[in-house]
A and B are shown apart, each in its own frame.
Chain A
Amino acid sequence: MGCESRVVEIVDNRRWFEPAGYRLTVTAGRGEVAAGQFAGLTIPGAPSRLGRPLAVYEADDQHWQFVYQVCGAGTGALAAMPPGSRLECHGPFGRELPWPGRPGRVALVAGGAGIGAFLLAARHLRRQGCAVDLLAGFAELPPDLDEFVRLGVEVRPASEAGRPGWPVYPTDYLDDRTYDWVYACGPRPLLRAVGHHPRLDKQRTYLLLDENMACCLGTCRGCVVDTVHGKRAVCADGPAFPAGWLTSL
């Protein structure tokens, strides 16, 4: 698999949801990208030099897309970069998501920018013949998620700001349907709620973790989590782990 550092150019970098959610399009990095994989983006001139690890939202021969939320100096500097500016893109890193292997009903539970991990996943699962629900929670309103709808995904929105007929949290949808497999990506409280949900099978519930990372290859041991199989690197062994593996969720 190709994996390298290369300079890419920003094609589009726009506000996509509130608060401070962005969608970024850059010229393509190296090689094929599988669902679950991420790239490190280094912002030139920023005092933080490590690549910001972001899930690849969409990838083709020409472009890679990412979804991110401004949460510090690095992503803040990234949000200020106009189209035409350049940054360094490392990767792709991480493992492809583990797949069900047979058709069934799948929930993709996204909190905020966590949705960035799920467009490639939804496409793959639909090709495998799965029925896919996107349980998408946002602080305010969701962005336009029509690209999921076009894949045949049922989008089930939630908003912390409150909206008639919508739940506050996307996890509220887990009570009214039976899901064979669940994937969750978002803030830690959301991962905890999904990982400890009484209706879900912990071996078929995959949590996509977000950690501070340095090498992104599993060598520096900086992003390890405790699992029933010992320490595992989120960057190289993940980012997805069965909820039942995680001992300190």
Chain B
Amino acid sequence: MDCLGLDLCGLPLANPLIAASGCFGFGLEQAAIGQAGGWGGIVSKAVTAEPRTGNRGRRLWETPSGLMNSIGLENPGVERFIAEIWPRMRQELSSRLIVNVSGSGEDEYCRVVDRLAAVDADMIEVNISCPNVRAGGMAFGLDPDTAGGLVSRLRGLTGQRLMVKLSPNAADIVAVALACQQAGADCLSLVNTFQGLAIDVASRRPVFDNLFAGLSGPAIKPLALRAVYLVSRAVAVPVVGMGGIQSAGDVVEFILAGATAVQIGTANFYRLGLAGQIAAGLEAFCREQGLGNLQELRGGLAVAG
């Protein structure tokens, strides 16, 4: 019995577990050590039009049950991605492959999405929520009109499925979600990292050169669940939930809150081969609960009153 399979806006996934962008690279290093299996999908690291070297200074800072990062979209650029990385991803990875796209301005997003016509990606994830670059990134995800405008332009450029990755730093994430849906997004993923501040007491300086950095990990799970609950009740397109997931139980919580699938990021750093373990946990959960398919629980949160 296939209790974990699902359809994500027309794309069949073997299970609802998707490796989150930036936390799994391009999957090739994991494949090399036999630890890339078990995922329904894998999202690539963000790809920009030109190669980027990323941010200077400290890039990681662990907090209680959380991880702050300020990587700054280090990536080889779309041309090298297409020529050297994508063919290996298709060959060495057996999951559905989603390419994450970012940029400093609308034109850069458009250039990258346009070039990605050259690859047979299963989906494109539009990253309008990276908090760690000075231009673009999260700037597109904070305002409904800006987000809608960008997604509308990308929709006009490509027939590929578009998943838009939302920022929890928006004043009204539901408004941004509705604008993206209206502009033609096939599905939405949320949440990217929360902007935070880490301080080094000894030097009285911020830990990160960029001052603020993105917080992920179990620390943000309740905040992410709330956002997924609110957005999935407001939109008709599927929601892919993420934020601090590290166990099968966490996945079930996101499904109950309204997510169709989930992404797992930071927890990949806690354990190699995580997807297979969580999938096994979900199968056991379905058996125990007598569920034919995990999707039966989607949005099933029993709210009093």
Which A residues contact B (CB, under 8 angstroms)? 1-5, 42, 47-51, 88, 90, 212-224, 230-231, 236
Contacts and interface: CB of A to CB of B under 8 A. Distances in A.
A215 B59 contact: no
11 contacts: A4-B272, A50-B62, A212-B58, A212-B61, A212-B62, A215-B23, A220-B60, A220-B269, A222-B71, A224-B54, A236-B29
Contacts of A49: 62, 65, 217-218, 269-270
B29 A222 contact: no
B25 A213 contact: no
A218 B271 contact: no
Contacts of B25: 215, 217-220
A96 to B, nearest CB: 15
Contacts of B33: 1-4, 217
Interface residues of B, number: 33
B243 to A, nearest CB: 15
B270 A42 contact: yes
Contacts of B272: 3-5, 90
A91 to B, nearest CB: 9
A215 B61 contact: no
A248 to B, nearest CB: 9
B140 interface: no
B270 A3 contact: no
Contacts of A47: 64-65
A5 B74 contact: no
Contact of B268 (A42, A215, A221): A215
Is the contact region of chain B dominated by helix, strand, or loop, or is it mixed? loop
B37 to A, nearest CB: 12
B35 interface: yes
A170 to B, nearest CB: 26
A50 B74 contact: no
Contacts of B268: 215
Nearest to B268: A215
A230 B60 contact: no
Contacts of B64: 47-48
A230 B54 CA distance: 11
Closest 9 CB pairs of A and B: A219-B25, A47-B64, A222-B60, A3-B33, A217-B29, A214-B269, A5-B272, A212-B60, A221-B74
Given A47-B64, A219-B45, A223-B60, A230 B29 contact: no
Contacts of A2: 33
Contacts of B35: 3-4
A177 to B, nearest CB: 37
Contacts of A217: 25, 29-30, 33
Contacts of B62: 48-50, 212
Contacts of A223: 59-60
Contacts of A42: 270-271
Nearest to B64: A47
B22 interface: yes
B271 A5 contact: yes
Given A5-B273, A88-B271, A212-B61, A231 B26 contact: no
B271 A230 contact: no
A3 B32 CA distance: 10
Interface string B24-46: 11100110011100000000010
B88 to A, nearest CB: 14
Nearest to A212: B60
Given A5-B273, A212-B61, A219 B24 contact: yes
Contact of A214 (B54, B65, B67, B218): B67
Contacts of B193: none
B226 to A, nearest CB: 22
Given A49-B270, A90-B271, A236-B29, A220 B71 contact: yes
A222 B61 CA distance: 9
B247 to A, nearest CB: 12
Contacts of B182: none
B60 A214 contact: yes
